Amino acid sequence: MLKIDSVSKTFHAGTVNEVRALQDVSLSIEDGCFTGIIGTNGSGKSTLLNAVAGTFTPDAGSIHLAGHDITRWPEYKRAALIGRVFQDPFAGTAPDMSIAENIAIAMKRGQHRSFGFAVTRAFKDDVADRVRTLKMGLEDRLDNPIGTLSGGQRQALTLLMAVWTRPKLLLLDEHTAALDPKSAAKVAELTKIIIAREKLTALMVTHSMQQAVDLPDRIIMMHRGAIVEDYQDERKQRVRVPDLMATFDRVQKRELFDESVAGMLKAQYC
């Protein structure tokens, strides 16, 4: 279970560039729950994921994961519990090394910082078995440089690597946004299959409302560093893209509702 409790983060505090990226955000995610996060640009989605991953320490609040208080843990220590996939399919891999070698490196990450790795026969068989589940034919190309793969293929592999050790939490930050529509659909489908198969707890940021409706079990909507909507259970089952649009619209309207509107309504709402 992930428990985020009253987490706040302000960038450039006290300057003209001050950004209150997270404002007292609380969120609990049950084990095995796949949660989508949507929200306007700059609403704090990535910052929330970064707070959980340990990219920075929050100004206030606490974060618990799988029974540990990880609030003060450094990022590398959290990596043992957390798998992560970013938007850029070329991030975090060494393009000249083979697929198998890249996977081997990824496996070492977060365990201990020894850099020795060897691609053994048994390891390769294990890799081949797992890669086969992607149904992309990549199991026959494990010795090819990873740089020769398409963005969609790489992102599928990155996803596979991120869940290799069955992390306590999987973080996906717009991991299909940089792909062409067909590859994006394929990676989205794999995401759903893998998360269900491994019964993973996951947080996925997406800009696609359709994806938010189709993939996760729960949808969080963020706006200006705060959670403004939370669709769970039957509300999540009912929600459709136009409903999410309407919710965005409502959030926007709320923004325009300032003190002067309140004054006008005081005289006219009776």
Partner 1 sequence: MKIELEQRGRYLLIQAKGRLDASWADHFTQTLLLQIRKGRHHLVIDASEMIFLSSAGIRALLMVYKELNIVHGSFFITNPTSFVEQTLSTSGFQMWLGKGFPEDMPAAGIAGEKDAAENTGIQGFILKDDAQLTAAEPAAWHPWQAVDKKRVQALVFEKDTCALGIGSAAASFEDARDHFGEFLAVAGNVVYQPPDEQALPDYLIPEKQFLPRMQCIQAMSCNGEMGHLIRFAPTDTTPFYRISALLTNILNQTGGKSAGFVVLGEIEGLVGTALIRSPGRLSKEREIVFPEIRDWLTFCGERSYSHQQALLTGVVSKTGATFLSPMPSAPHIAAHIHAAVFPYQPLPNGKIELESAIAKFFNGPPPLAVMHLTDDDRPAVGLGESALIRGACWFSPLQNPEVLS
Ligand X SMILES: Nc1ncnc2c1ncn2[C@@H]1O[C@H](COP(=O)(O)OP(=O)(O)OP(=O)(O)O)[C@@H](O)[C@H]1O
Q: Which residues bind Mg ion (CB under 5 A)?
A: 45-46
Query: In which order are the strands placed within the sheet that holds 68-69?
Result: 19-29, 2-11, 60-65, 68-69
Q: Which residues contact 30 (CB under 8 A, 6 or more apart)?
A: 1, 201
Measured from the Cβ of residue 55, the count of other Cβ atoms closer than 10 Å reads 12
Nearer to partner 1, 198 or 243 (CB): 243
Q: Is residue 75 a contact partner of residue 55, using CB atoms and an 8 Å limit? A: yes
Q: With helix as H, strand as E and coil as C, how does 68-124 read?
A: EECCCCCHHHHCCCEEEECCCCCCCCCCCCEHHHHHHHHHHCCCCCCCCCCCCHHHH
* Binder of residue 19, out of partner 1, Mg ion, ligand X, none (CB less than 5 to 8 A by kind): ligand X
Residue 91 CB, shortest distance to ligand X, in Å, is 15
Contact residues for partner 1 (CB under 8 A)? 229, 238, 243, 246-247, 250, 252-254, 256-265, 267-270
* Binder of residue 217, out of ligand X, partner 1, Mg ion, none (CB less than 5 to 8 A by kind): none
Query: Contacts with ligand X in 62-81 (CB under 6 A)?
Result: none
**Residue 174 token pair:** 């717009």
CA-based Rg of the chain, rounded to a whole angstrom? 21
211 scored as a contact of ligand X (CB under 6 A)? no
Near ligand X by CB under 6 A: residue from 5, 23, 32, 42: 42
45 scored as a contact of ligand X (CB under 6 A)? yes
Residue 248 CB, shortest distance to ligand X, in Å, is 13
Nearer to ligand X, 48 or 187 (CB): 48
* Binder of residue 258, out of ligand X, partner 1, Mg ion, none (CB less than 5 to 8 A by kind): partner 1
* Binder of residue 211, out of Mg ion, partner 1, ligand X, none (CB less than 5 to 8 A by kind): none
**Residue 80 token pair:** 């043992």
Question: DSSP assignment of 33-53, as one string?
Answer: -EEEEEESTTSSHHHHHHHHH
* Binder of residue 262, out of partner 1, ligand X, Mg ion, none (CB less than 5 to 8 A by kind): partner 1
Pairing of strands 34-39, 218-223: parallel
Q: Residues 144, 148, 150, 155: is their CA dihedral positive or negative?
A: positive
Nearer to partner 1, 108 or 240 (CB): 240
Q: What angle do CA 160, 104, 140 make, to 5 degrees?
A: 65
168 scored as a contact of ligand X (CB under 6 A)? no
Count interface residues toward ligand X (CB under 6 A).
11
* Binder of residue 39, out of ligand X, partner 1, Mg ion, none (CB less than 5 to 8 A by kind): ligand X
Residues in contact with ligand X by the rule CB under 6 A: 11, 19, 21, 39, 41-47
